[in-house]
Structure 1
Amino acid sequence: MNLNNQLSIGAFRNEWQKASMSLLYTCGFLSNGYESFFKKHNVTSQQYNALRILRDQFPKPVSTSFLREKMLDKMSDASRLVSRLNAKGYVTVTQNPTDKRLVNILISSEGLSILSGIDKELYLLDALLQGLTEEEAATLVELLYKVRESITNTEERMASVEVATA
């Protein structure tokens, strides 16, 4: 089935619209695959991402703003995410001694343990894209980088136009 039928769109304005709609549609499939995988481990993909970041920083504690900056999903509510991880015992949260407005977040031994179990099965996520050859996957990475660059450049141009017209 072609993309037009899958999305119930009669015609696309141009190939750029078709490409962006295809990316969004595919992202949904990929996200669902990731969520199903992580659900078996009693975490969400965002929680896993936060734990992965915390493990990379361990034993150094980090702030919620650092965590938000490094997250794949920049729109995530890092404070709520940390609260849920803390409730599960996967992180410890303490007040920053030098700045009382900040908290220090540190992955716990239980958090490290859950990541260790997930690490053993991460290869299953690779299977989501095994319809591509490794060369095609590498090309896709390069193309997606170009997409992100294009988005960043467009956002910067739009912001400068807004400033100039204000």
Structure 2
Amino acid sequence: MKELEDIIKSSSPIPLRKKTVLNIAYSNIWMKDVTGSILKNFDISSEQFNVLRILRGKKGIPANLQDIQNRMINKMSNTTRLVDKLILKGLVERFTCEKNRRKVEIFITQDGLKLLKQLDPIIEQAEADLTSNLTETELVQLNELLTKLRK
């Protein structure tokens, strides 16, 4: 297992707080690269995948753009653009609300659900592989520490 200093080829020790921030950032990119390469094979981005999972979680109840945006992992995503791309791929549908013409309702399609069903075991295996060096106790501890860090 390479230390961060070796990975970034630092010739001097990195102060602990800086090393922590860099380690989290590097690990995030590493994990995104692994899952991104899987999703790329299905012509979908991680942000689009996130939208599909959000819509599936609504269990047939329509979502609006604000609702999706609030649940996104990456809050910087352009939700309208993501939904438009998913519509072009036939993975989601957008309808104007009958009762309120200003309201837009977004649903996942059967093709979107099929894609997620196909991706679920592949992503689950990738997540298992990414975290395989940690015990259950370490995973719990890591999650607690990351949650504490964000407070």
TM-score (norm 1): 0.81
Gaps of 5+ in 2: none
CA contact (8 A) 2:68 2:79 kept: yes
Detail structure 1 runs of 4+ shifted over 6 Å in the superposition: none
> Which digits, 9 at most, give the CA deviation of each residue in 1:110-157, with x for residues without a partner?
1111111112323322211111122211111111111111xxxxxxxx
Report the AA paired with residue 130 of structure 1.
S
Cα distance in structure 1, aligned partners of 2:134 and 2:111: 36
1:74 aligns with 2:75: yes
Report the AA paired with residue 142 of structure 1.
E
Structure 1 counterpart of 2:146, from 133, 144, 147 = 144
Secondary structure in structure 2 of the residue aligned to 1:92: strand
1:37 aligns with 2:38: yes
Deviates more, 1:48-57 or 1:34-43: 34-43
Q: Which residue of 2 aligns with 1:118?
A: 119
Q: Which residue of 1 aligns with 2:49?
A: 48
Residue 98 of structure 1 and its aligned partner are, at CA, apart by 4.1
CA contact (8 A) 1:58 1:107 kept: no
> Which digits, 9 at most, give the CA deviation of each residue in 1:29-50, with x for residues without a partner?
0110110121222211111111
CA contact (8 A) 1:64 1:78 kept: yes
Residue pairs, 1:73-112, within 5 angstroms: 73-112=74-113
Secondary structure in structure 1 of the residue aligned to 2:57: helix
Q: Which residue of 2 aligns with 1:129?
A: 131
Residue pairs, 1:146-161, within 5 angstroms: 146-149=148-151
CA contact (8 A) 1:90 1:108 kept: yes
Deviates more, 1:78-87 or 1:93-102: 93-102
Cα distance in structure 2, aligned partners of 1:32 and 1:42: 15
Q: How many residues align?
A: 148
Gaps of 5+ in 1: 150-166
Secondary structure in structure 2 of the residue aligned to 1:43: coil
Quote the RMSD (CA, aligned, Å).
1.6
TM-score (norm 2): 0.89
